[in-house]
Amino acid sequence: MKILHLYHDIMNLYGEYANVAALKRMLEKNDVACEVDTLSVGDELKILDYDFIYIGSGTESNQKYVMEHLKKYVDDVKAYVEAGKFLFMTGNSFEILGKKIIDAKGKAHAGLGLFDFTVTEQERVRNTADAIFSLIQDGENSSTVSDMVSGDKALVGFVNKCSTIKGIASPLFQVKMGLGNEGKGKTEGMVYRNFYGTHLTGPMLIKNPFFLQDLASKLCGKEMDGEYLTYEKAGYEITLRELSKRLENK
């Protein structure tokens, strides 16, 4: 299994290296041989060589920087996604795949154009919130999404962003607590084939061991054993319980 942690050095705002480390550990615990490459803007990319690519969150300036670099490989990225290979992007990284990003000064930056959504940033305003999300189980992507997470497990984490996103046709999550694509909206993230994008951080795969387990299972095409995730699962249950109390007290 070949994994690429892309822009590991400049899109690592919330310790996203832990997402890749968690996935690698899961695979190795289940006797799946894997190698992880860490590449960035100074490297030539062979996108189609990989089974799983991860990009984390960065500052708004670094986001634009890597967007320009990745434009050189846009045809490969599109072919990779259309082939059903796994692309997982957290924080503001997935925003670069849309039509454009309008920055806080009103300047429009052309995105990679894989999808039709538009991102608008706000000046000197950051929206932050703890989050409880649930997977959307209907619509054209239901068969892709519904087998991603064990049962009806909610996902937990944190969202920190200065943007709103309009025009996402296939959101990944329903918002129970926290921020959606359009701020107070009820849906969040995006899913298409095996591309998953979300602003949820934490790091996400550490905070949500059930999601980690099922993502790895889907990647490998066989059930992964997550029995070793004792502390991670206990931490998840505590976080979900405490956040849920806030909803009950509203």
Nearest to 63 by CA among 102, 27, 20, 25: 102
Nearest to 92 by CA among 65, 71, 69: 65
The number of folded domains in the chain is: 1
Model pLDDT, residue 145: 38
Output the pTM of the full model: 0.93
Q: What is the DSSP code string of 17-42? A: HHHHHHHHHHHHHTT---EEEEE-TT
pLDDT tens sequence across 152-176: 689 999 999 999 999 999 999 999 9
Q: Which domain holds residue 44?
A: 2-248
Model pLDDT, residue 146: 38
Residues near 57 by beta carbon (within 8 Å), at least 6 away in sequence: 11, 12, 13, 14, 16, 90, 91, 92, 93, 199, 201
From residue 211, give the alpha-carbon distance in Å to each of 141, 149, 205, 208: 17, 5, 7, 5
Residues near 167 by beta carbon (within 8 Å), at least 6 away in sequence: 98, 99, 115, 116, 117, 118
Model pLDDT, residue 138: 53
CA 76 to chain centre: 19
* CATH number where 63 lies: 3.40.50.880
* Residue ranges of the chain whose pLDDT lies below 50: 139-151
Model pLDDT, residue 220: 97
Beta bridge partners of residue 36, listed in sequence order: 3
